[in-house]
Structure 1
């Protein structure tokens, strides 16, 4: 069985504390549904972009956004928001679509592993482009142990994620362990490396890793450290000919989410890696011999990302009374925009109406405001045209 040896340094302990503190704030900060949807969509787009960009995908963030939002379209060209035609490599587009589908597949696996009362555990079935199929089957899905619905990582889950990642790129290699020597080429430097497990041992080492993950030793480890070690060892084994980096990052996300560290599907570690790809690859390479170095880097990245999410959530969150009230009354799209304006600017005056709602009459805006006043979500200060509105 895989038996990682590492130290829990003061820096690791400090950053785990930062992560836990940020996680508590995020999970207890109420957000209106509009913000939750926007935050989740933004995180998905960032995950897809930065995890593919770090391996040389040429598509820009805004281009990835367009593809993700029209995921059924796999054409080689599309029109961006300025009206210009963007022509992209077939592989780049499929990498984006596939990684987006992996993100959605992971969300369904975690949801099935931790079902709500009376909720169907099975993911939905739909088109391949949306990765709705679940060929992992009964033995390879999000297995559970006992009543606490403990997540089990299986070889079938790993194969299924890998197949999705390589769909329409190298379909014939999806979910098939490599049978040749693996050589890594750092696309930043062109350097060729061979630090990986010999191909004759790949299957054995993968079974060892999976057994460790599901063992008492794996389950008792701090979830952040467990995800970091899973990421590291998967890259070290390099079990497939193609897609190992994306697979490792996907499995780390799956592990964190299954252990309750998805914080509303808001976080994106991939941007941290891509911000300095040279550091990412160096810490991985050094981590093969000294996992502590990699864990220092990995845990710091999580602390940075969780703090980023916390800062944004705190800025956007509302008093618990607002969350309660918005659950009791219908909030229109314009009213959500008014609340967002108040959150960002502190107050709203009649003179702001044109900027907030171009081509909408003042009377219409005032009707939306009256609904928020009646629901006691906002308050009015002052009278007539000098009045201003603030969150209660």
Structure 2
């Protein structure tokens, strides 16, 4: 018995040592895991900070569209069924007449009769808007007589879109491309200066608070008016302030205004100051509020049927999910974030409205997404005046045809007009906030109507 007891004692000691060593090994491994996890988390924070610091726009002071105390169908593009310029049996007669008008315009131009030449160029363009020779000569005329390099460049681009091997348009486009790019950059620099001037005004400035309130009403009024809402500005203001119905107006028109108000307040309270990427859920939540009062069944859901919009046939319903994933990948990519905020916002608007993911409310949702991007970069929400509805559609159609730059310029013009409204309303000489549709007050000159291209 004594021998057996002595044998068991070393066995017990050995077992204790093994247990101690095993416990120590487990603790060492846990420490290693904790150290590695800390290193990984630190690296993730450093990378995230570097990403944020590399994009100055994200650190711009966000612009809240709502002053303190204020609580509370897809865009139809211009239909053009004319196919790319290739003479055929159906359009041959029109092309022949257009060429006759073109030759007459060139004769008038050579004889120094610019006014008559302009009318003949307009007639030729109206008859055959995709004829490469007409587009090229028309662009040269605008460049030579009107010094309108931007519009000439657009015509050269359209000519090459329809006929890539057109030598004259190719030579002209190579000459004007860099000039137009410099003009665009200068325009964006001017807009940035106005944004900085607006940001320098204290938030508690009474004139700024008044301007925000009035601009908020105007934004909702013009946004729904583009879609065909017949409410006046005063009626829109009354609905938002009192929630009392306006007699003689439909329930849907009331609900469109209330839906946009709800979406704007959602963006202001939830998305505006958030630093993380814009998600699929964010866009669905915006649309849910846009359409929630009009059609709560479809609000916040992708369409399940094919739709047809003017000359544009959007993707089928089975493609929407994948296209939206690709769109969001671009929206949150470094390449997109490196763009100037106005270009970034305009492209986001166009890409979303081109997909047409919803059965209704695509235009309003796209404009809200555009303004979210702009407000995060310190710009006020852009007002696209209902008076410029035809230009809005025309530039969307031009983008569908391959040149998105006119649409970006149009959004830049609207951005500058909105900034002018705020700066004018907060100046010492202002006694009222002007209506966005009064161009002589906002810019001193009417917005370019591009009559020569209509």
Q: Shorter-chain TM-score category?
A: 0.5 to 0.7
Cα gap change, 1:236/1:98 in structure 2, threshold over 3 Å: closer, same or farther?
A: same
Tell me what 1:107 maps to. Answer: 268
Offset of 1:316 from its aligned partner?
A: 6.2
**2: CA distance, partners of 1:202 / 1:212:** 15
Residue 392 of structure 2 is aligned with which of 275, 280, 297? 280
Offset of 1:9 from its aligned partner?
A: 2.3
Tell me what 1:9 maps to. Answer: 181
Partner SS, residue 260 of structure 1: coil
Tell me what 1:256 maps to. Answer: 374
Cα gap change, 1:62/1:214 in structure 2, threshold over 3 Å: closer, same or farther?
A: same
Offset of 1:30 from its aligned partner?
A: 4.1
**2: CA distance, partners of 1:111 / 1:199:** 30
Tell me what 2:288 maps to. Answer: 163
Tell me what 2:235 maps to. Answer: 63
Q: Which has the higher helix share?
A: 2
Offset of 1:244 from its aligned partner?
A: 0.3
Q: Pairwise mapping of residues 266-277 of structure 1 onto structure 2 (< 5 A)?
A: 267-271=381-385, 274-277=386-389
Partner SS, residue 322 of structure 2: helix
Cα gap change, 1:305/1:11 in structure 2, threshold over 3 Å: closer, same or farther?
A: farther
Offset of 1:179 from its aligned partner?
A: 2.2
Cα gap change, 1:163/1:242 in structure 2, threshold over 3 Å: closer, same or farther?
A: same
* 1:173 is aligned to 2:298: yes
* 1:21 is aligned to 2:193: yes
Q: Are the aligned partners of 1:177 and 1:239 in contact in 2 as well (CA < 8 Å)?
A: yes
Tell me what 1:294 maps to. Answer: 407
Tell me what 1:305 maps to. Answer: 418
Q: Pairwise mapping of residues 1-392 of structure 1 onto structure 2 (< 5 A)?
A: 9-30=181-202, 32-71=204-243, 73=244, 77-78=245-246, 86-113=247-274, 150-184=275-309, 192-262=310-380, 267-271=381-385, 274-288=386-400, 289-315=402-428
When the two structures are aligned, how many residues end up with a matched partner?
254
Q: Are the aligned partners of 1:12 and 1:299 in contact in 2 as well (CA < 8 Å)?
A: no
Q: Are the aligned partners of 2:211 and 2:422 in contact in 1 as well (CA < 8 Å)?
A: no
Gaps of 5+ in 2: 1-176, 433-454
1:283-329 CA-to-partner distances (Å, cap 9, x unmatched) read: 01211221122112222221222233223223369xxxxxxxxxxxx
Q: Are the aligned partners of 1:202 and 1:239 in contact in 2 as well (CA < 8 Å)?
A: yes
Cα gap change, 1:293/1:111 in structure 2, threshold over 3 Å: closer, same or farther?
A: closer
1:249-307 CA-to-partner distances (Å, cap 9, x unmatched) read: 01001111122223xxxx54232xx2221110110121122112211222222122223
Offset of 1:59 from its aligned partner?
A: 0.7
Offset of 1:211 from its aligned partner?
A: 1.1
Partner SS, residue 281 of structure 1: helix
Offset of 1:35 from its aligned partner?
A: 2.3
**2: CA distance, partners of 1:90 / 1:243:** 16
Q: Which has the higher strand share?
A: 1
Offset of 1:198 from its aligned partner?
A: 3.0
Greater shift after overlay, 236-245 or 30-39? Answer: 30-39
**1: CA distance, partners of 2:224 / 2:331:** 26
**1: CA distance, partners of 2:371 / 2:324:** 18
Q: Are the aligned partners of 1:269 and 1:305 in contact in 2 as well (CA < 8 Å)?
A: yes
1:47-101 CA-to-partner distances (Å, cap 9, x unmatched) read: 1100000110011100000001124x5xxx44xxxxxxx3210000000011011
Q: Are the aligned partners of 1:153 and 1:214 in contact in 2 as well (CA < 8 Å)?
A: yes
**2: CA distance, partners of 1:304 / 1:12:** 16
**2: CA distance, partners of 1:280 / 1:211:** 26
Gaps of 5+ in 1: 1-5, 79-85, 114-149, 185-191, 318-339, 342-392
Cα gap change, 1:195/1:12 in structure 2, threshold over 3 Å: closer, same or farther?
A: farther
Cα gap change, 1:14/1:308 in structure 2, threshold over 3 Å: closer, same or farther?
A: farther
Work out which of the two has the higher radius of gyration on C-alpha atoms and give 1 or 2. Answer: 2
Cα gap change, 1:36/1:316 in structure 2, threshold over 3 Å: closer, same or farther?
A: farther
